[in-house]
Amino acid sequence: MSDPAGSTPTETRQLIGRALIPIQFGEQVIVSILYNHDANPVHHRPDHAIQWMLGLLAAQGVGGTDGSLTNAGPEERTYTLGTRLLASQDAVVMPGVALASICYEHFIDPSELTTSISTTFTYPLLVPTKGDVVVTVEAYELPDTSAGALAGSRKIQIEAFGPSLTGGQTRLMKLDAVVFKAGTSREDVYQSVVKPQFDELSKTANKLPGMPELAHPSSISQEDRRRYNRIVEPGSESKARPITESAWQCKIPRVLTEVIDILKYNEPYQKEVKAHYAGRADEAERVAAIRRYVEKERKYNLFGDDKVAPRIEKIAALQQHLYARQHTVFDPRHFKEGAEATTAGTQILLDLHLSEMRLRRAMHRFFTCGKLKSGEAVFMGESTVMAQPLVTKELANFLCETNHAFDTLKLMEYKR
C-alpha cells in the first residue's frame, strides 16, 4: 500500500499536463455499473468499505505520510487511523482501475497507439456518498532508453493523488504506458513490440491444477461510453469517442471478482491456505484476538453460546483481496477506427485464471486475456492481487476495545 520503491527520478521526466478531477459518488456508481464492477460491495456500501479499510491500517504506509505515525507499530496505527476512519462512515471505495482509465484518457488521444498499460495501486480512494473528492493528476513523458525502440514511441507516466486519512495528499496510483504517435504502422508495432510480449505472457496461460478459470463475454454499449465520456470530459456528452484500450482494461476486475469468489469455495485452494496458516504463532494470536472480540459480542447478547465457535471461524476465514497491479498489452491492429474492439456493443471473451500464488507474500497472479469471437487475442496481461485475512489481530483488538460491532461498525448495545 505504500509507494513502491524505484520511482522514476523527477529530473528525468517532462511534465505534459496536470488536471484536477472531481469524483462524485453518483458518477462513481455509473462507472462501476458501466464496467460491471458492481459484484464487489466495497465499491457501493459504506460499511463494507470501512471494514475493508480497517483491515489495511496495521500496514506501514497506509493512511498517508503523518510524521507522528512514521515509527508507529501496527497496534498504534490501527487505533489512531481506525478512529479517524470511523468518522468517515459515508465513504465508498472507487475501483482503482476505473480511476486509472479516467486519468489515462485525460492525456492520451484515442488516435495514438497504446501497446501497454501497467498500473500500480498504492492507496484506495475513499469517495463520500455526499459531496465529492478531488483527485490531482500529473502526466509525464519519460525518455525512451530501450535499445532498438521504434520511431514514434512515447513512454507516459501518470500519477494520481488524493486525500489520505491523515489529511494530507497521498499517491493513489502510478501508471506507466507505452504509446506510439498517430500514423505509426500498426503492423510494425505489433510484430516488433506486442507479439514478443504476447509470446512471453502466453507462457503463463496454463492455470494451476485444480484452480478455477472463467471465460466471460463482455461488451461496452454506446450509452455506457457516452456516460463515461461525461466523467472523462465534462460537457462532452454528445462527442463521439471510440472504445479505448483503457476502457477494456476496466472490464478485467469484474471477471477477476468472480474468480476470487469461486476461490472461497475451491477445495484445492482452501487446502493450500489452511496448510499455510496451520501451526503459525502469529495466526494463533490472531484467532485468540478474534475469540476475545466474539466473546464481547456474546456478552452483548448478539447471539447465544452455541454460536460462538461458528462466529470465530467465520470471521477468521474472511479474506481481503487488494487489487495491487494490472499489466495489459494491447494489439494496436484492433484499436483503429471502425475495428471490432473500438465499436460499441462488440463482444469480447475475457479469459482469467490463477497462474501463480505465493502465500508467504500473500501474492496471487492471474493470467488475463481478451479474445474476439474469431479467437484472436485483442489484449493479454496479468493481474496481481494481494490476499490476506480481513480481520487482523490489531483490528479484532480495536473492535473489542472500542465496542464497535464488526458487521455494522456501530457501538454495541445490550439487547433489552
d(CA 189, CA 182): 12
- Alpha-carbon distances, residue 133 vs 101, 120, 164, 169, 376 (angstroms): 17, 21, 11, 12, 40
pLDDT of residue 1: 42
Per-residue confidence band for 168, with pLDDT thresholds at 50, 70 and 90 = confident
382 CB-contact burial (10 Å; exposed 0-12 / middle 13-18 / buried 19+): buried
**Does the pLDDT value for residue 63 go beyond 90?**
no
- The tally of CA atoms less than 13 A away on the side-chain side of residue 248 is 38
Per-residue confidence band for 229, with pLDDT thresholds at 50, 70 and 90 = confident
Residues 211-240, mean pLDDT to the nearest whole number? 80
- Helix, strand and coil in the chain, % to nearest 5: 40, 25, 35
Q: What tens digit of pLDDT does each residue of 239-267 get?
A: 667 899 999 998 898 888 889 999 989 99
Q: What tens digit of pLDDT does each residue of 368-407 get?
A: 999 999 999 999 999 999 999 999 999 999 999 999 999 9
Q: Which residue has the cell 465529492?
A: 132
**Does the pLDDT value for residue 363 go beyond 90?**
yes
Sheet holding 319-330, edge to edge: 14-24, 132-142, 153-163, 169-180, 113-121, 319-330, 377-389, 363-371, 348-358, 213-218
**Does the pLDDT value for residue 38 go beyond 80?**
no
pLDDT of residue 315: 96
d(CA 104, CA 342): 17
pLDDT of residue 149: 67
231 forms beta bridges with none
pLDDT of residue 113: 96
d(CA 326, CA 381): 8
pLDDT of residue 227: 79
Residue 201: how many other CB atoms lie within 10 Å: 21
pLDDT of residue 286: 97
Residues 189-212, mean pLDDT to the nearest whole number? 92
pLDDT of residue 5: 37
Among 416, 218, 243, residue whose Cα is nearest residue 339: 243
CB 342 within 8 A of CB 243: yes
Q: What tens digit of pLDDT does each residue of 380-389 get?
A: 999 999 999 9
Residues 23-51, mean pLDDT to the nearest whole number? 80
d(CA 335, CA 340): 8
Give the mean pLDDT of the chain: 88
* DSSP codes of every residue in 43-58: GT-HHHHHHHHHTTTT
**Does the pLDDT value for residue 64 go beyond 60?**
no
Q: What tens digit of pLDDT does each residue of 114-167 get?
A: 999 999 999 999 999 888 899 999 999 998 766 556 788 999 999 999 998 887
Q: What tens digit of pLDDT does each residue of 264-302 get?
A: 899 999 999 999 999 999 999 999 999 999 999 999 988
Helix (H) or strand (E) holding 89: none
**Does the pLDDT value for residue 6 go beyond 50?**
no
**Does the pLDDT value for residue 25 go beyond 90?**
no
Q: What tens digit of pLDDT does each residue of 303-316 get?
A: 899 999 999 999 99
**The overall pTM is greater than 0.85:** yes
Residues 224-230, mean pLDDT to the nearest whole number? 80
Please give the domain boundaries of the chain with CATH numbers for all domains.
10-265+319-389 (3.10.129.10)
pLDDT of residue 4: 40
**Does the pLDDT value for residue 2 go beyond 50?**
no
Q: What tens digit of pLDDT does each residue of 76-88 get?
A: 989 989 998 998 8
**Does the pLDDT value for residue 339 go beyond 70?**
yes
